[in-house]
Structure 1
Amino acid sequence: MKQAEVAAYFSRFEEAESMYLHMDRRDLAINLRIKLGDWFKVLQLLKTGSGDAYDALLEQAYNGIGDYYADRLKWENAVQYYLKGRNQERLADCYYRLENYDGLEQLAADLPENHKLLPEIGQMFVTVGMCEQAVKAYLKCNQPKAAVDTCVHLNQWNKAVELARTHNMKEIKSLLSKYASHLLEENKTLEAVELYRKAHHFLDAAKLMFKIADEEGKKMSRPLRVKKLYVLAAQLVEDYHEQVKASQQSKAKGKTSEATFTLAGLLEEDATSSDNRIIDCAWRGAEAYHFFLLAQRQLHAGYTENAMRTALHLCEYEDVIPAIEIYSLLALCSAANRAFGTCSKAFIKLESLESLSPEQRQLYEDLALQIFTRHPPKDSRVLRADGSLEGAEGKLPTCIVTGLPIQEYQFWMCSVCKHCAVEQEISKYNCCPLCHSPVA
């Protein structure tokens, strides 16, 4: 023993180790190599021995060799020994440096929940832009705020909103606003609408949809598309009504009657709505374009009187459809129906429009002169502004199938858009002509 210590003192390590082994003192030989930091020799000595007493030392040896390779930037070799030494922290660092993100993801999956290494792995994924993997790591260690911040940082706004809603985070409103602003800056208005709809912010979605429809309506190049946009906007408002109603139901469950919580819902709408047009007149735009298209179909099909009466009904929608489009259609339909009195009124309205240029106004005047020098401006029957016959009692509901006032006492009403139709006419349809919901 003394001779071995003397040999070790004079750096004759091989001789000292041989003496220790000859005395069957493997532990002293191992300690000698550990002091020298010769982990390869330590591993060799441990493998020639037996027993569970060396298990901890075996892991230490593997990690020591892993450090040896890591110090020399040989990350692949280091990984092999860190795996054997179960050194998860150093293993994560090696995977990151090797850009072995599959291995890093598998390591995060193998770690137990709330492990201290998970936030670090999440940050590693953030730095390389791997949002989904980072979110998984943060959620596994119960850090949803960090997961949401990661999504925002990497512009995965949709995922951020979904996470905030799933974990009932207070920041969801501000997140929605930021994401919507981000989408609107990139002219992705429809994506912003979908964002609000998925987040159940139906009124905000409806406002954006009405804005899109209004802008498309100014072009008047694709009226069918505009009608669909207005229908979608109105349906979002209906979803908002249902949401408010459901909210009041949950608050007043078992305490008040249905009439009471419905009234409370209406009061809440009045208190929160900043745009009464959206709440109170949600279907007005869809109505306008529905009757605009209907009048044209009737005219092309040869139903000139029905087309004229539908076009007369359009006069109530000057705030939605440009007046020049309405009265041009009315003049055309009434001329085809030989109702030149109505046609004359349409021309008078057209000639008085301030939006017309002098050249356009002159063209209308010349056309009116050609028509009314041949035909006196008189109608065979007098019609009211809503298209109903003169003498009808009160304002009658309009049939969305024919565009004509409903004379019957019993009629069909859509359960979604609340518009009416003659039962005989609606029986030919499977869906509501206005909102396209199934006919009950």
Structure 2
Amino acid sequence: MKQAVVAYFGRYEEERENVPRDRNRRLNAVQYYVQGRNQERLAECYYMLEDYEGLENLANSLPENHKLLPEIAQMFVRAGMCELAVTAFLKCNQPKAAVDTCVHLNQWNKAVELAKSHSMKEIDSLLERYACHLLGKNKTLDAIELYRKASYFYDAAKLMFKIADEEAKKRTKPLLVKKLYVLSALLIEQYHEQMKNAQRGKAKGKNSEATSALAGLLEEEALSTTSRFTDTAWRGAEAYHFFLLAQRQLYEGSVDSALKTALHLRDYEDIIPAIEIYSLLALCACARRAFGTCSKAFIKLESLETLSSEQKQQYEDLALEIFTRHTPKDNRKSELDSLLEGGEGKLPTCVATGSPITEYQFWMCSICKHCVLAQEISNYNFCPLCHSPVG
């Protein structure tokens, strides 16, 4: 056993002593291969010496489609040098190998960029694989950015909407939730514009009425498939926008405006939990001394099945304390309340004030299609809802 160990370490020491000797031999060989223009042996020496700068210079000196370029590219792949490998593969007209290299070395962003620039059919599956890779690492925002850069706006919007819904369930950051819904809706709007341009491009140059009508029908069909999704995203943005607006108006002392905005929230029970809507409504109504509306809000709160018996008792005690002092009657009918009760054909709501728009002239955002009172829009440089520039 002892002899075997001694023999092993003897060979190890001998091999270690040979390393610098072999390196010196290769360094000397490089000079001869350069003089003799033996490019294949020169590439091998550069690789064995880990002289990647020399290998890069050799690749750059070779003409396009040289037979040695794929071999040099593989050397860079084995060394984990993605950028240099891609350059070598592209120089010999092998974009598929360049994309595969990016995937192999986990340079997914570069892979997608190459697949898109070379109009490769694999881009759909590549995007899906990369997105799954990112989602598996909980990098959802990176996956959204990937789809957005690749102009896959619908896929990006779906992921953004999913994040918005998840954040909404946490019930902690309404401003963040609003922004996420807005971003989701804006991505859908980009998708709609993309579809419109695609259909117009197909019909371009074809002047027949039949062709134009067909393009219109295809465009309408493509947009109808996402219209419900778009409406849901904008509704989510609206809900949290008015939820935040009512609170800001209340804290600023604009109790009448706060009540009108809070009443508007009753349309969004499918998005914001009813307990939050009617708690805010009761608070705004109480501040404005609209105790009839306040009483209705308390009745709604006490009837919620999601409340525990302890919570219901707390609301009942609070209601008793308020309405033993004040008659549950509004001192004047709320304008917005009567409009909301009207149901169909109700007037549009100003996203700056939460008030109904009764004038014939008003400003409409070109992006989100929401409205602002004409006398209010002069106070804004950006749309109060989607933050697009006021044109």
TM-score scaled by length of structure 2: 0.89
- Provide Cα deviations, 1:298-338, integer angstroms capped at 9, x if missing partner: 10111111101101111111122121111111111111011
Which residue identity is paired with 1:336?
A: A
Unpaired segments ≥5 residues, structure 2:
1-19
C-alpha distance in structure 2 between counterparts of 1:298 and 1:155, whole Å: 50
Q: Deviations over 1:334-378 (max 9, x none)?
A: 110111111111112212222222222221111111111111211
| Equivalent in 242, 245, 251 of residue 291 of structure 1 | 242
Asked if 1:264 corresponds to 2:218, the answer is yes
The residue aligned with 2:64 is 113
How has the CA–CA distance of structure 1 residues 181 and 390 changed in structure 2, closer, same or farther, with 3 Å as cutoff?
closer
| Residue of structure 1 equivalent to 2:150 | 199
Higher Cα Rg, which structure: 1
Equivalences for 1:325-404 in 2 at 5 Å?
A: 325-383=276-334, 388=339, 394-404=345-355
CA apart distance, 1:174: 0.4
Alignment of 1:128-139 (within 5 A): 128-139=79-90
Q: Distance in 2 between matches of 1:87 and 1:378?
A: 99
Alpha-carbon displacement from aligned partner over 1:22-77 (angstroms, at most 9, x marks no partner): xxxxxxxxxxxxxxxxxxxxxxxxxxxxxxxxxxxxxxxxxxxxxxx998872111
- Report deviation, 1:109: 1.0
Task: Give the secondary structure class of the aligned counterpart of 2:270.
Answer: coil
CA contact under 8 A between 2:336 and 2:356: conserved in structure 1?
no
Instruction: Say if 1:309 and 1:387, in contact at 8 Å, map to a contact too.
Output: no
Whether the 8 Å contact between 2:76 and 2:84 is mirrored in structure 1 is: yes
1:400–1:419: 8 Å Cα contact kept in structure 2?
Answer: yes
How far the C-alpha of 1:379 sits from its partner, in A, is: 1.3
Compute the displacement of 1:259 (Å).
Answer: 7.6
- Shift in alpha-carbon separation, 1:239–1:71, aligned structure 2, 3 A: same
**Distance of 2:262 and 2:338 partners within structure 1:** 8
Match of 2:257 among 293, 306, 314: 306
Q: Which residue in the other structure is 2:196 paired with?
A: 245
Residues 385 and 260 (structure 1 numbering): CA distance in 2 closer, same or farther, change over 3 Å? farther
Residue in structure 2 matched with residue 405 of structure 1 by the alignment? 356
Cα distance in 2 for residues equivalent to 1:285 and 1:256:
42
2:389 equivalent to 1:435: no
Is 1:157 aligned with 2:82?
Answer: no
Asked whether the 8 Å contact 1:387–1:405 carries over to 2, the reply is: no
Determine if contact 2:336/2:355 at 8 Å carries over to the other structure.
no
Superimposed CA distance per residue, residues 377-398 of structure 1 (whole angstroms, 9 cap, x where no aligned partner): 1112334776738779930000
Contact 2:161 2:233 in 1 (8 A): no
SS in 1 for 2:233: coil
Q: 1:215 & 1:207 partners in 2: Cα distance? A: 12
Match of 1:283, SS?
Answer: helix
Equivalenced residue count is: 369
CA distance in 1, matches of 2:156, 2:187: 7
Map 1:170-181; keep pairs closer than 5 Å: 170-181=121-132
2:97 to 135, 138, 146: 146
Determine the C-alpha separation between the residues in 2 that align with 1:391 and 1:208.
36
For 1:72 and 1:236, the matched residues in 2 are separated by 57
Secondary structure of 1:282's aligned partner = helix
Cα distance in 2, alignment partners of residues 387 and 137 from structure 1 = 72
Tell me, yes or no, if structure 1 residue 422 matches structure 2 residue 373: yes
Which amino acid is the alignment partner of residue 296 of structure 2? K
Deviation at 1:244, TM superposition (A): 0.2
- Give secondary structure in 2 for the equivalent of 1:432: coil
Answer whether contact 1:292 1:311 (CA < 8 A) is retained: yes
Alignment-derived partner of residue 6 in structure 2? none
C-alpha separation in 1, matches of 2:344 and 2:151? 43
Contact 1:313–1:387 (CA under 8 A) maintained in structure 2: no
Higher RCO, Cα 8 Å, sep 6+: 2
Provide closer, same or farther for how the CA distance between residues 72 and 214 of structure 1 changes in structure 2, counting only shifts above 3 A. closer
Equivalent positions of 1:86-97 (< 5 A) are: 86-97=37-48
Task: State which of 201, 207, 211 in structure 1 corresponds to 2:162.
Answer: 211
Q: Once the two structures are aligned, what percentage of the paired residues are identical? A: 71
Q: Give me the whole-angstrom Cα distance separating, in 2, the residues matched to 1:398 and 1:72.
A: 79
Range with greater deviation from structure 2 (370-379 or 159-168): 370-379
- 1:179-211 CA distances to partner (integer Å, 9 max, x unpaired)? 001100100000000000011110000000001
* Structure 1 residues 387 and 137: CA distance shift in structure 2, 3 A: farther
Q: Is the 8 A contact 1:161 1:172 kept in 2?
A: yes
CA distance in 2, matches of 1:70, 1:200: 56
Q: CA deviation at 1:94?
A: 0.8
* Letter matched to residue 220 of structure 2: L
Give the letter for the 1:264 counterpart.
L
Gaps of 5+ in 1: 1-68
> Structure 1, residues 210-266: CA drift from partner, whole Å, max 9, x if none?
011111111222211111111111110010010000000101113367786444312
Question: How far apart are the structure 2 equivalents of 1:285 and 1:439?
Answer: 22
CA distance in 2, matches of 1:307, 1:387: 16
- Alpha-carbon RMSD: 2.2
Change (3 A) 1:389 1:215: closer
- Take 2:133 and 2:340, find their aligned partners in 1: how far apart are those partners? 53
